[in-house]
Structure 1
Amino acid sequence: MKMVEIISTELIMTNLLINKALQESIADYFKEDDLSRNLNYIQSLPSDEVQCRLKIKDDMILCGLPYFVESFNYLGANLKYEDFKKYEGRQYQKDEMAEIHFTLPFSIALTGERIALNLIQRASSIATYTNKFAVMAKGSGVKILDTRKTLPGYRALEKYAVVTGGGNNHRFGQSDMWMVKDNHKSFFGGVKEAIDFFKSKNSFYTPIEVEIHDLSELKLALNEGVKHIMLDNFSPDEIREAVKEKPSDVTFEVSGGVRLNTLENYLIEGVDAISIGALTYDAPAVDLSLKYSRG
């Protein structure tokens, strides 16, 4: 097979896989617009081609183009993600006044615009905010993690944006890792009892992480052979005391109220990761718009 044919096949497969991965989510997003309610309106929209300009109007890491492209393809467009891929994850400055140009039928551009823009704006906001944390933590050996504090229905998008911004993903779902939290300890009667409950699940490859709140709980968790410890709402001084007890084969994760203006205080030797819910629930919005004109 000639090289050009191999590349063409790879491009087709990439577009197909992205389409299949996002198809169900995109369909759910369009249900909210309920296109079937007004068939006359849909039929009346002209299908003339228009020149589209995605305008980047803020300092940002651009993220979410796979979702952006598939929002229009869901409606029948034939955009190729490979034509947009070079822009994904790129850092832009507001004064660049950067634009991404492409062509769509007017009916598809108008119908898909709001959903496509909502998705790329949300993803870009999270990627941009996450990158601020990742840049500050660079060289410290501490990874920046997200949490499950994501908007229902948008977890995949938001966690994708965290990685694009230079962060790392924590659990996607509850059973990715058994996490012993306060309510488990309270219900089952303590750290050991809660750990025993999760050990009883016989999930051979599912690790256990214990959320602890003082050094006595840390010792209990380590005595039970737990390999992942979350130091929840520990002060920097308390973290320094805790890492003195850290075995070489155990990971320490810090969590609880860490913000951009306090992050530097928690970049402590011996800490492996800091999980920050604010990456997804508190990211400041960035500004993008979509404009189009007749050719």
Structure 2
Amino acid sequence: MKLNWKKYAVILFSVMLILVACGKGEDKNSTSQSGGKNPLEKNEDTKKYKIGVTQYVEHTSLNSAYEGFKKALEDAGLDVEYEVQNAQNDASNNMTIANNLVSSGVDLIFANSTPSAQAVAGVTTVIPIIFTSVTDAVGADLVTSVESPGGNVTGTIDNHPEAIPSTMKFLKEELGAKNVGMVFNAGEQNSRAQVDAVKELLKDMDMTVVEASVATSADVKQAAESLLGRVDSIYIITDNTVVSALESVISVANDNKLPLMVGEFDSVKSGGLGAYGFEYYDIGYEAGQMAVKILKGESKPADLPVQIPQNLRFIMNKDTAKAIGLEIKNEWNAEFTE
């Protein structure tokens, strides 16, 4: 059959025109669905992120950590909308919050405390979770290891490895303590781990721990009073339930001239005698920096090692020392609360 080249050329040209037109139609549709911008050209700096925040209870240290977290994202120039929920020290509320945040379509969850982190980690393996104010991330089953978290969860812990040993050494060598009272919520894995660490340490120091457990903040004062006559000092760890009612312990300690060592600086500012610790604002800020890397797609939780607090310092409250008749020695090299 003889091929009509002129006719073939016309048909070929027509097909090319149709293909070009279809391509333009697809571009137009793509632009419409991405808010007037081709997704391939999207500038991440202009994206608005939605972050869910879950906090187990209201107290100064956790609030400071949240402020630090927000500041890190602000410093990174990210546009963020926060959905903030507080469980008010209620386990049932805590689980409801976790489920609500997961179903609300957030880009990332900031879990501020061990119970908060455990709740959200139990209901999603997809949404990135950054925690802070957690003492034992491995023991709480949040990560596989500190060095390699291995899942969708990582963050910053509030347990410097030298904090508890330094506190116990101070109580024994400088204050002559032998029996240390500890008020804590045995239902918090975070707290149980710290109490066990203290007990293990004191086996070789000729000192003992006297426990007083609580279930709610309303139990704290009675628990503190139950220690009287049995202890010569009190140590309050980073227990959310007890710290939220710390004024009760401070009152009991000061009235009975008992040195009250605490686990973080905000509790010293509130009236605790002293602490080897760090600022919760700082670990919140460091958690925020980790969140920035994840939101920008620079890293994944599984690849970001859990961070420990930096710059362990010794802080004391002069007014509390005066109230219990304790003279502060220069060789303690203490800093003082404002």
Given the two structures, how large is their TM-score scaled by the length of structure 1? 0.27
Q: Greater RCO between the two (CA within 8 Å, min separation 6)?
A: 1
Which one has the largest radius of gyration? 2
Given the two structures, how large is their TM-score scaled by the length of structure 2? 0.25
